[in-house]
Structure 1
């Protein structure tokens, strides 16, 4: 009995050291953040309507957006913000489809102050050219494949008008629930349910907490807003990086020392993910864009000793460096089975870590419910997805792998992040493994 107890403690002691990593780095901070969020949202101040609403500019970068552009512009027209106070600039960066035809149809149907601007290829180029053509007090950027919630523009303008210290904001991005509901394929519906849950928690929990300490890592490229006076003092969007939205966030917050926040009640709806392959490309792009920007802005403060004083160092350590122990931990599990470690102990360790991540998802779930009170339909749909808390840890683990691959590709490849998808790279791995096996067989013979 003593021997069994000793063996169990020794093996559990080994695994507890691995369990401590997510507990200290992710679990405990998540519970503390949730408590802060709940306390700060007990009494929300109402934004007062100004005597006169300002004129605003909405920029829509367009590239082969024939299928979605009309509905995007329609959401601007249907907004509660007065149409006569909105300038709409469609920045066409060399589309090859009938995007112009959809622009013309929208212009005829909606009667907005619209103009089509031809720009160089690339979203950053489209945004930069449009900024110089804008005449609004506030400038909004929205993607052409999404739609605005009817009060989104109004809510964001009111937040600007009532908080003169805010220079830029990002909105809340959520996948369209109507498209998710119509998804018939089981595996795609499962992927989209997890994506919706992830977006809701990332924006209405994660980014809210970042905003409280003025440490918002990135404004969403899909929906952001700025004081024009602030934008004109920046170096504009960086055309040489994959993460132009993150780079702009750092320009305003770190270089100009101005406040960047999230407006939780300004929602922008995007199309849900189309496949695992699309998710694979997307997360690699995000990862590589973050790494590029972080490398430029961390400078001399990129040491471990700055972990507590520099939030960017903490973010990079948690989001990137700690990915590697997770992967090593998984491979170590297989190796230790061959070294006759108890499968029961290994299984129990997995169960403990899984339970911890589920508990974090539940806490974040409650936080999101609190912030969705104003949007009853959205809150009701989100509530029905409570079961996702039990599979979200696996979804996040898969995304961690995709991000790790993005980090590795960033160090060895150029910026052509869209060159290979998940299926192609998986096929390449299989070919390499088969080739190695054949080589070993030849040597053996």
Structure 2
């Protein structure tokens, strides 16, 4: 009997540990997959507007000589009406010949309405300066080292035009598959492939689920879009944090209480990671930025003082409405009545 009890006890221990990843990871992943498939199958058909609205595309430029021309070419290849696009290249103190890439693009793509403005150093300052120069109904930010899928801008505008509740959205950011295949070295290629699947799982599937629950944590700084009137209600991009994209998300979703979603069929392609050094620097920057923004907003909404303030306000409302579940307090005697 002793050996049977001992065997069952040990089996129970290992069975419990085996169930942990099933309950915590596998089952939620299966449920999320089913939900994503249902969402994809029941996507509403979007109606094109009678007249396509003006769109301002902002491209922050910092030492982008090698990538800027290709980025502008991807804008020129958009299926969106080029007569309704304003492109602002916000140069924040580049030291290379980024202006030369802009000059070549002007000659190569004469149908594009291109502007090149010089701003103070820093991505947030460049974005803020360009926002004041924007004339579009919608403002779309993209990084200068990536490429837009040809239907990206059109798909974003369609989502905006068909849902007036959407205040801002993030696009889908993915590494370019052809460049992933061209990576040399099996270890580097393995890293690049894992990055691709991570972007697809976390940044695409994960944000789709967050968007469905109206809990999107952060819009991608590489590709995001806004209604201009909503953008002007914010404090614009915070220049004191490296997580300006997360801060903007919190401003719109938490402070303004407006809807932020992902547009999964608006895709922006980026180059695969160059190695562990860039990966470490990138993730350190992301984590630091998210912590800075989370700490700032939690200090306003999740403090002990704020909790009790909201608790007493809720109780006062319940007392006025004679709610049977409220805790009625006599503030003079400090007794519950």
- The answer, yes or no, to whether TM exceeds 0.5 is yes
What is the CA-CA distance between 1:139 and the residue it aligns to?
A: 0.3
In the alignment, the residues of structure 1 paired with residue 231 and residue 240 of structure 2 have an alpha-carbon distance, to the nearest angstrom, of: 18
Deviation string, structure 1 residues 206-234 (Cα, Å, up to 9, x no partner): 11100111101110000000000000000
Deviation at 1:109, TM superposition (A): 1.1
The DSSP-based 3-state class of the residue aligned with 2:153 is: helix
The match for 1:41 is 40
Partner Cα distance (1:290, 1:302) in 2: 18
Q: Secondary structure at the match of 1:293?
A: helix
- 8 Å Cα contact 2:176/2:271 also seen in 1: yes
Matched, 1:206 2:206: yes
Alignment pair present for 1:174 and 2:197: no
Which runs of no fewer than 5 residues in structure 1 stay unpaired?
307-445
Q: Give the Cα–Cα distance (whole angstroms) in 2 for the partners of residues 195 and 239 of structure 1.
A: 29
Superposition pairs for residues 323-402 of structure 1, below 5 Å? Answer: none
1:143: Cα distance to partner?
A: 0.2
TM superposition shift of 1:250: 0.6
* Count of matched residue pairs: 303
Closer/same/farther in 2, CA of residues 298 and 29 from structure 1, 3 Å limit: farther
Q: Which portions of structure 1, spanning 4 or more consecutive aligned residues, are displaced by more than 6 angstroms?
A: none
How does the TM-score come out when normalised to structure 1? 0.65
In structure 1, the residue matched to 2:69 is 70
What do the CA deviations read for 1:169-225 (whole angstroms, capped 9, x no partner)?
A: 100001011211211211111111111111111233111100111101110000000
- Report SS of the residue matched to 1:48: coil
State how far apart, in whole Å, the 1-side matches of 2:224 and 2:119 are. Answer: 20
Q: How many Å apart are 1:7 and its aligned residue?
A: 4.8
Q: Per the alignment, do residues 279 and 31 of structure 1 end up closer, same or farther by CA in structure 2, a change over 3 Å counting?
A: same
Give the unaligned 5+ runs of structure 2: 308-337
Pair 1:194 & 2:164 matched: no
Is the contact between residue 173 and residue 204 of structure 2 (CA under 8 Å) also seen in structure 1? no
Going from structure 1 to structure 2, the CA distance change for 1:27 and 1:96 (only over 3 Å counts) comes to same
What is residue 222 of structure 2 aligned with on the other side?
A: 222
Please list, as runs of the form range in 1=range in 2, the aligned pairs for 1:19-418 lying within 5 A after superposition: 22-111=21-110, 112-299=112-299, 300-301=301-302
Distance change in 2, residues 1:87/1:208 (3 Å) = same
Write the distance in 2 (CA, Å) between the matches of 1:11 and 1:302.
44
Q: Which residue in the other structure is 2:314 paired with?
A: none
Residues in 1 aligned to 2:246 and 2:8: alpha-carbon distance in whole angstroms: 46
Alpha-carbon deviation of 1:57? 0.3
| Offset at residue 35 of structure 1 (A) | 2.4
Asked if the contact 2:207–2:262 (Cα under 8 Å) also holds between the matched residues in 1, the reply is yes
CA distance, structure 2, for counterparts of residue 59 and residue 96 of structure 1 = 20
SS state at 1:41 partner = helix
Structure-2 separation of matches of 1:128 and 1:265: 27
Q: CA deviation at 1:236?
A: 0.4
For residue 281 of structure 1, report the CA deviation from its aligned partner: 1.2
